[in-house]
Structure 1
Amino acid sequence: MTMVNEQAFAYREEAYAILESNGHNILVIAPAGAGKTRVGYEALKKTDGGAYVAPTRALCLEKFFELKDEFPQNGIVLGNKDYTLTGAEFKGATCRVVTHYKLNQLLQNLGRRFSQVCRTVVLDEVQGLNNEMDIAITKLKILCPDVRIVSLCHTLHEDDEPKFAAWLNALIVKGTERPVPLTHRMVEFQADLTEDGEELSHVLVKENGNVLSAEDIAGMPNNFQMVGWVVKQIRESGDNEPIQIFTPYTEIARQLAELLASEINEYDGDLQAVADSLTAEASEFTQSLQQILPRGVAMHHGKMTQQEREVVQQLVNDGKINILVSCYTLTQGVNLPTKHLIFERIYDHDKETGEKRLIKPEVYHNAAGRAGRPNKQEVGVVWTLVANEIERTEAEEVLLKYKASRLESRIYDEYFLTSQVPQLILLGWNTPAKMAEFIRATFYGQTLQETQPLTDQFERIVSYLIDRQVCGVLGGNRIYLTNKGVQIARLGLHPEEFEIVDELSKTQNLDYAEWVRRLAAVTGEHVVRHGQPSEEDIEQLVTLGLTVYSTSGSTWNAKEMADYVSRIFETCRSYFQLNQMTDYAERWNELVYQQFTYGNLELCHKLAPFLKRDQIKRLIRNLGNALMADVLDDPAKRTLVRCLWIMKNGHAEDELAREMTQVANILGADADQLHSIYAEEKERTQTKITDGKEE
C-alpha cells in the first residue's frame, strides 16, 4: 500500500461541518486527487438527492455510475446530448446527472418549481466557466434561492476566488496539499552545431528548478523523438510505473501511440483478447487501438466511441496500461491515474482565430494533477518538454508560476445571447430594468467595472428581436413576446434557426438535403468558430448524416455540424407538437430525420420501432460501420447491450426483458445470449464503480 498524505483530505471535515450546520453554499477548491467529489456526494445525501452537473458527456457517464452506487435504492437518471431526460423523469428521480445545457433547459421549463424537486445542485469543474454555465447558475440563484449550490474545482486564479465565491454566495473551503507529492521536470532541447557542422541538441533536465542532468544527443529531435527520449530515460532508470502523455490533438495521439507501441516487444495475450472484443470499425481510431493495446499502449480522447473510452479507462485503473496518450478528456475530470505525465507540447490552436497559443495554466495544472494518485503511486512526476529558450521561459513564467488564468464568462457572445433573451423574457425579465438586473447578477456582470457595454448589447438584441417580430414593447417599457417569440423561447432556438424550421415546415418541405444544407449554413456562420465550413464539410454531412462521427476521414467541422443539426432536428419534434402538424411530422420523420440519423444503416431502421431515439443515436456513435453488417459479431452485441440497457433511465426489468427479446429477434440472435451479456456487463459495471471510486 502506497503512503498517502492524509492531511490533504482535512479540508473535507470543514466542508462536512458546513453541510451539517447551515444551508450555506460552498465553493470547494482542492488539487486533483484530493477527493472533492466526495463533498458533492455528501451534499446530495443531506437532501436525499439533487442534481450533479458536469461539463462533458464522458464525465456525466462516470458520475452517473458512481451515483448509482451511492444511491443504490433510488432512481438515478442521466441527461445530456446522448441521453434524453424528460421533465417527468427529472421530477421522478432522486439524483440527476446533467450537463449545463440540460440544466439550463430544465430551469427554463420548470422555473421556480425546480426547487420543489431538487434542493441541492453540485457543480463540478466550475473553473471551466462558460456562457451556458453563467446563464444557468444565474437563473438558479435568482429563481431558486433556497437551493444549495456546492461548487467543485481544482484551481482558480487567486484574484477570482473571492469574486467567484461572492457571486455564488458561497463559503470557500480550500485544500492546498496534494495526497501524493508532485515533482516538476523541465526538459529543454537546445539546438546547436558541432565543430564539423553536424546538428546536435543539448538536453537539459531540471527538477523543481535544479539541474538534474545534461547530455548531448545527435540531431534536432521532433516532438515524437523528444517524448521517446523521456520514455527511454524513465524505463532505463528501472521505473516501470505508468506513463501518460498529453497532446492537444487526436491525430497526434494516434501517431504517437502507434510509434511508442512499435518500439515495445512485449506482447500481452489478455490485452489482445480485450482488443479483439472491441467492435470493429466503430470509430476511425478502432483499428489503431486494436493494434496498440496488446503492447500495453492505449489512447483516450473524445473522438473515440464511448465503449472504447470505457475499456481504456478500466484498463488504466486496473494497471494494465503502461503508456497512455490522451487529449483534453484528461483535463475534464475523467479519472485516469498515472505516475508520469509528459506534455508532448505546451501549445495548441485557438479555435476562433486559428492561431497558435500557449495552453491555459488551469489546463496544464489539471492535466499535471493526474500524476501521482492516492493509493496508486507514492509520487507524481510531470515532464514538460520545450524546444527552445522562448518555450522554456513561457513554461516557467506562465504555466508554472500561475495556477489558473482569469475566469472569463463569454456571455457577450451575441449569437448565444440572442437565443437566451426570449427565454429570459418568458421567465419574467421583461423590462429594461429587469434585464439590467439579470445582467448584473451574472458572473460576467458582477466582475465588470462597467456593465453598460453589456446593457447596450442587450438593447441591440431586443431591437433585433423586434425587427424579426419575436417581441414587441407595450407602454414604452414592458417587453412582450409575440406568438413566434413564445415558440422560440419554449424551443430554445435562435430566431434564424426557428425561421428555417418554420419556413421549411410550413411549406411542407421534405427535401432532406435542403434541410441539412440550410441548417448547416447557420452553424457554419455562428457555431463553427474556426472558419466557414467547406463544401466538402457540408457534402460529408449531407451524405453521412450522424454516421459522420464514426466514418474515417470525416472532418472535424462536419462532426461539429452533425451535433448541431441533430439537436435542431430533436427540437423540430417539439415544434411540430406546438403547431399541431402530426401528419407532416410523420412524413418528415421518415424522409428527413431517419435519413440523417440512420442513413443507409438498415439495421437501425429495423430497430427504430422498438427503441427510443437516443438509444439509436448511441448505437450509431458506438457501433458505426458495424451496423452495416447483416449479422453483428459478439463484440458488437456486447456494445449494443451496453448502449441500450446498462445506462437506460428508470427501466423496469420486465420492460427490459421484453425489449431485449424484440431486439434479439430483429438481429437474428439468441435472446438468452443477450440476457447473459446484460448480466455480465451489469456486474462488470458495478465492480468498476467500486474499484475506481475516488476516496
Structure 2
Amino acid sequence: MDLQDLQEKYGLPEEVTEVLEESGITELYPPQAKAIEKGVLDGRSLTFAIPTAAGKTLVAELCMLKSILEEGGKCLYVVPLRALASEKFEEFKGKYESLGVEVGVATGDYDVSGSKLARYDILVATSEKVDSLLRHKAKWLADLSTVVVFDEIHLINDPGRGPTLEVLAARLRQLNPDLQVLGLSATISNSSSIADWLSAQHVRSEWRPVPLKEGVYLRGDIVFEDLSKREVKTSAKDRVSKLAADTIEQGGGQVLVFVSTRRSTQAAARKAAKKIREYLTKNEKERLKEVAHTIETALGESTETCRKLAKYVRQGTAFHHAGLHHRQRRAVEDAFRENLLKVICATPTLAAGVNLPSQRTVVRDYKRYTPPYGMQPIPVLEYKQMAGRAGRPGYDEYGEAILLADSEAEQDTLMDEYILAEPEEIKSKLASEPALRTHVLGSIASGYVNSLASMLEFIDQTFFAYQYSAERVRSIVEKVLDFLKEEEMISEEGKWLSATQFGVRVSQLYIDPLSGVRLRDGLKNVESEEPSELGLLHLICSTPDMTTLHLRKRDYSDIDAFVADHAEVGEFLIQPPNEFHEPEKYEFYLSEVKTAQLLQAWIEEAPEDQIHERFKVGAGDIRRKVSTAEWLLYAANELAKLFKIKPAYQPLRKLRQRIKYGIKEELLDLASLRGIGRVRARSLHNAGYETLEDLRKVSVEKLARVPHIGSKIAERVRKQVTSDKF
C-alpha cells in the first residue's frame, strides 16, 4: 500500500503524506497495510503484535495525526520507561512540528494535576504519570476521546509495571467508552486475548523489514534454524569477541551482546575491546575520544566505572546497564546509532528499552540467578525481545540472533526451547495485595468507585477479570479494604466508601498506602525536638517504595552495632524489631539502615567511588535511590503538615534539598545554581566563595580558574547571580 492509497482511500491528510515522503517513507509494510485495512484510520481500536522494527509506531502516528489534523483531537502515547518517553518525544517533535502539531512529554512529579499538559496535541507519558494525573482528577484526561496508544502493552505481564498499565487501560476506557485504543506489542502467543479484552481489531505478524536468522554457536560454527551452517574464522580468543569480530569482517556491522549480570557486561566489553580496536578508522578513534570524555566527566567526578567505560569506548566497545548514569547510557546509545561503537555488552534491560538495532545480536547467557531457586532459564519472550534487535533497516540484508552452546545436547535444547519455541502467554499480575492496595485506594480517593460493588464492577473491566474473573480477586480486594479502613485511609457508611483526608493525600502523593502508614507512624513519634537526619533517612527507607540494599553476611555485625548505638540515643523513628524473637524482620531492618547509610554518605559528600565500593552500587543506582528518597521526603513533609507535626517541617525540607544535590547543608545556596552540582559547589566553597553574594563580587576570569569551573560555567554562574531571581 503506497501513500497515495492512504490519502485517496483512507483520508490521510495530504500534509502528512508529504512529511512521510520527506522522511523516506513511500509505502507501508505488509503488517501496517493490514492494520489500515482493519479500519484503524476510521477510529477502530487495534492490538498490533509484530516484531521489533516492523513499523508498529508508524501506524499509531498515522492514527494520531489524522485525529489531530481533521478532528482537532488530543492523543496520549503511553510508554513504560522514562528513557522511551524521551526518545518518542524527540522523534515525534522532530517529524511533526512542521505540521503545527504540539508534542509534550510528562514523566515525573506525581503531585500535580497537569492542567498545562492539556495544550499538547500528542502527550508522551509513562503509565505511572497518567495514573497519577487521573488521581488528581485531571479533567482534560476525562474528556479525552480520540487516540490512546499503549506502547509495549505486553508488559501487563510484568509484576512491577503491569498492574498500573492494566488499571490505566481499564480506567480510561471506563471514562471514555468510545476511546480509540491502540495496543502495540511484541509478538506474543495470546495477543488476540488482549484484542478481545480491549474490544479491538487484531493484527499479528512475524513479518520483518529485515529478515531474522536465528542460530546457535558451538565450537567455531553457527547452526541456523534452517540447519544451514557457517564457520566463524577470526583470531579473537573468546566466543563473544570471535562473533563480534566476524560481524565486522563480514561487512562492517555492529553487535549487541546480552549477558546476565553487570559485572559480566564489563568483563565481556574488556575482552572484546582488545580485538575491536583493530577495526576503527582514524576518524572514528578521534570521535570516540570525545564520547569517552563525555562519559568520564558525566558525574562531575571521575570514578573507576567512568574510567573503565571511557577506556573501552575509545576502543570501539562499551558496556551498558542500569548502574550507569543516564548521561553515560545516552552517550553510549548515541555513539552506537552513529556506528562509532561497534559492540555493546548489555544486560537484558536494554532489549526492553530504547530502539537500538544491530546487525547481530549475541545472547551469551540464557540463564540468570533467581533467588531462591538459583540459575534459571529466561522466558522465551525475553529471548525474542533480545533477538528482535538484530537487523538494521536500511543497512542489513538480514539480522542474526546467536545463542551460545557448550555441547551438542545444549545446542539442540536451545534450538528447540528458544529459537523454534513460541513466546509464553502473558498473564495479568493484578491479583496481588501490594498492587491492589494502591489502585483500590486510588479508585476510592479519586471518586471513581464508592462501594465494594462498584470496585468489583471496575475490576471486571481489567485483563485479570478477562483471563479469570472478578470474583477470584474479591477476597484480596476485601482484605485491602479492611487494611485501608483500619489505617483510617477510607471510611465506610453502610455500603458506601469514601476516602479520608489522609487517604486522599496518600493517593495524590502516588505512594504505596503502606508507605503512607509507615511515614505517618514514624512522624507521630517526633516529639518536641527536631528529628535526626538518620531517623528521617531510615524512615523513608522503611517504606515499600524504597528498594533496599542487599544485606551481605559481612555487613551484619557492623550494621548491628551501628543500630545498637543509634537506637540507644533514640535516633530512630521506627524502632528495631527484637533480633531474637523476629530475626527475619530484624535482618530486613538492617538492610533498611544500610540503605539509609548510603543516602547519608551521599549528603555528606562522600566521593562516588567510595560509595560505589562500599555499597556495591553504580551511579545509576545512586540516582534512582536519590530520586525516590527526594520524593518520599516530600511526601513525608506533606503528611507532617497534614498531621501538624511542626518539628519535622524544616528538617524534612532541608534534607530533601541536600538529598537532591548530594551536599552538606553549607552548600545549599551554591548548589541551587543551574549547572553547579555537588563537586562544583564544593570547589567554589573551598575557593572561598561560600554565598551567592560572594559570587556577585568576583570576576568571571577569576571564577573560571576555580577547579571544575572553567569559562563557560563561570559565565553561566555570573549571569544567574546577577539576575533578578537572586
TM-score for both structures, normalised by structure 2:
0.74
Task: Note closer, same or farther for the CA distance 1:471–1:527 as it changes in structure 2 (3 Å cut).
Answer: farther
> Matches of 2:51 and 2:411 in 1, distance apart?
24
- Equivalent in the alignment of 2:612: 552
1:551-570 paired onto structure 2 within 5 Å: 551-553=611-613, 554-555=615-616, 559=622, 561-570=625-634
Q: Which residue of 332, 352, 359 maps to 1:332?
A: 352
Deviation sequence 1:585-636 (CA, Å, 0-9, x none): 455211x21232223278973355566xxxx9xx87xxx867654499xxxx
- Equivalent in the alignment of 1:52: 77
- Equivalent in the alignment of 2:244: 231
- Equivalent in the alignment of 1:106: 133
Whether the 8 Å contact between 1:545 and 1:562 is mirrored in structure 2 is: no
Deviation at 1:391, TM superposition (A): 4.0
3-state SS of 2:143 partner: helix
Deviation at 1:118, TM superposition (A): 6.7
Deviation sequence 1:503-532 (CA, Å, 0-9, x none): 454537442211221221233998889994
> Matches of 2:682 and 2:348 in 1, distance apart?
31
- Equivalent in the alignment of 1:196: none
Task: Note closer, same or farther for the CA distance 1:53–1:547 as it changes in structure 2 (3 Å cut).
Answer: farther
Q: Which residue of 122, 147, 163 maps to 2:179?
A: 147
Task: Note closer, same or farther for the CA distance 1:250–1:380 as it changes in structure 2 (3 Å cut).
Answer: same
In the alignment, structure 1 residue 88 sits paired with structure 2 residue 115: yes
Q: Which residue of 47, 60, 64 maps to 1:40?
A: 60
Deviation at 1:668, TM superposition (A): 7.3
- Equivalent in the alignment of 2:16: none
3-state SS of 1:241 partner: coil
Deviation at 1:68, TM superposition (A): 1.6
Deviation sequence 1:76-120 (CA, Å, 0-9, x none): 332224899751232233322211111111122226641425732
Equivalent residue letter for 2:288: L
Whether the 8 Å contact between 1:470 and 1:481 is mirrored in structure 2 is: yes
- Equivalent in the alignment of 2:520: 502
Task: Note closer, same or farther for the CA distance 1:569–1:473 as it changes in structure 2 (3 Å cut).
Answer: same
In the alignment, structure 1 residue 455 sits paired with structure 2 residue 474: yes
In the alignment, structure 1 residue 272 sits paired with structure 2 residue 270: no
Equivalent residue letter for 1:298: A
1:382-421 paired onto structure 2 within 5 Å: 382-388=401-407, 391-421=410-440
Task: Note closer, same or farther for the CA distance 1:357–1:32 as it changes in structure 2 (3 Å cut).
Answer: same
Across the two proteins, how many residue pairs are aligned to each other? Answer: 609
Deviation at 1:59, TM superposition (A): 1.0
Equivalent residue letter for 2:191: E
3-state SS of 2:260 partner: coil
Deviation at 1:482, TM superposition (A): 3.0
> Matches of 1:84 and 1:494 in 2, distance apart?
14
> Matches of 2:643 and 2:369 in 1, distance apart?
44
Whether the 8 Å contact between 2:262 and 2:321 is mirrored in structure 1 is: yes
> Matches of 1:318 and 1:162 in 2, distance apart?
37
Task: Note closer, same or farther for the CA distance 1:603–1:574 as it changes in structure 2 (3 Å cut).
Answer: same
Deviation at 1:366, TM superposition (A): 1.6
Task: Note closer, same or farther for the CA distance 1:674–1:387 as it changes in structure 2 (3 Å cut).
Answer: farther
Larger radius of gyration between Structure 1 and Structure 2: 2
- Equivalent in the alignment of 1:257: 269
- Equivalent in the alignment of 1:135: 167
3-state SS of 1:263 partner: helix
- Equivalent in the alignment of 1:374: 393
Whether the 8 Å contact between 1:415 and 1:526 is mirrored in structure 2 is: no
Whether the 8 Å contact between 1:164 and 1:443 is mirrored in structure 2 is: yes
Structure 1, 557-566 or 426-435: larger mean CA deviation: 557-566
- Equivalent in the alignment of 1:485: 503
> Matches of 2:389 and 2:67 in 1, distance apart?
31
In the alignment, structure 1 residue 305 sits paired with structure 2 residue 335: no
1:641-656 paired onto structure 2 within 5 Å: none
- Equivalent in the alignment of 1:208: 225
In the alignment, structure 1 residue 360 sits paired with structure 2 residue 379: yes
> Matches of 1:45 and 1:292 in 2, distance apart?
43
1:597-608 paired onto structure 2 within 5 Å: 597-600=660-663, 605-606=668-669
Deviation at 1:555, TM superposition (A): 3.6
Task: Note closer, same or farther for the CA distance 1:153–1:227 as it changes in structure 2 (3 Å cut).
Answer: same
Whether the 8 Å contact between 1:185 and 1:206 is mirrored in structure 2 is: yes
Whether the 8 Å contact between 2:113 and 2:137 is mirrored in structure 1 is: no
Whether the 8 Å contact between 2:48 and 2:203 is mirrored in structure 1 is: yes
Task: Note closer, same or farther for the CA distance 1:64–1:628 as it changes in structure 2 (3 Å cut).
Answer: farther
Task: Note closer, same or farther for the CA distance 1:563–1:556 as it changes in structure 2 (3 Å cut).
Answer: farther
TM-score for both structures, normalised by structure 1:
0.77
- Equivalent in the alignment of 1:317: 337
Q: Which residue of 584, 589, 594 maps to 2:653?
A: 589
In the alignment, structure 1 residue 79 sits paired with structure 2 residue 106: yes
Structure 1, 95-104 or 559-568: larger mean CA deviation: 559-568
Deviation at 1:65, TM superposition (A): 0.8
Deviation at 1:175, TM superposition (A): 3.6
In the alignment, structure 1 residue 27 sits paired with structure 2 residue 59: no
Task: Note closer, same or farther for the CA distance 1:264–1:339 as it changes in structure 2 (3 Å cut).
Answer: closer
Whether the 8 Å contact between 1:179 and 1:374 is mirrored in structure 2 is: yes
> Matches of 1:603 and 1:77 in 2, distance apart?
37
Deviation at 1:342, TM superposition (A): 0.8
Whether the 8 Å contact between 1:112 and 1:144 is mirrored in structure 2 is: no
Q: For the aligned residues, what is the CA RMSD?
A: 3.9
Deviation at 1:21, TM superposition (A): 5.1
In the alignment, structure 1 residue 541 sits paired with structure 2 residue 599: yes
Whether the 8 Å contact between 2:549 and 2:594 is mirrored in structure 1 is: no
Deviation at 1:341, TM superposition (A): 1.0
Task: Note closer, same or farther for the CA distance 1:240–1:74 as it changes in structure 2 (3 Å cut).
Answer: closer
> Matches of 2:276 and 2:118 in 1, distance apart?
53
Task: Note closer, same or farther for the CA distance 1:546–1:441 as it changes in structure 2 (3 Å cut).
Answer: farther
Deviation at 1:343, TM superposition (A): 0.9
Equivalent residue letter for 2:177: P
Q: Which residue of 483, 490, 511 maps to 1:471?
A: 490
Structure 1, 66-75 or 664-673: larger mean CA deviation: 664-673
Whether the 8 Å contact between 1:520 and 1:561 is mirrored in structure 2 is: no
Deviation at 1:455, TM superposition (A): 0.8
Deviation at 1:74, TM superposition (A): 4.8
Structure 1, 376-385 or 431-440: larger mean CA deviation: 431-440
Task: Note closer, same or farther for the CA distance 1:403–1:628 as it changes in structure 2 (3 Å cut).
Answer: farther
Structure with the bigger RCO (C-alpha within 8 Å, sep 6+) is: 1
Equivalent residue letter for 1:120: V
- Equivalent in the alignment of 2:569: none
> Matches of 1:563 and 1:555 in 2, distance apart?
18
> Matches of 1:21 and 1:85 in 2, distance apart?
33
Q: Unpaired segments of 5 or more residues in structure 1? A: 189-201, 633-662, 676-695
> Matches of 1:52 and 1:102 in 2, distance apart?
12
Equivalent residue letter for 1:491: L
Deviation at 1:320, TM superposition (A): 1.5
> Matches of 1:294 and 1:402 in 2, distance apart?
39
Deviation at 1:401, TM superposition (A): 2.8
> Matches of 2:221 and 2:479 in 1, distance apart?
56
Equivalent residue letter for 1:60: A
Q: Which residue of 402, 422, 431 maps to 2:451?
A: 431
Deviation at 1:136, TM superposition (A): 1.4
Deviation sequence 1:346-368 (CA, Å, 0-9, x none): 11233x64632212222211211
Equivalent residue letter for 1:252: S
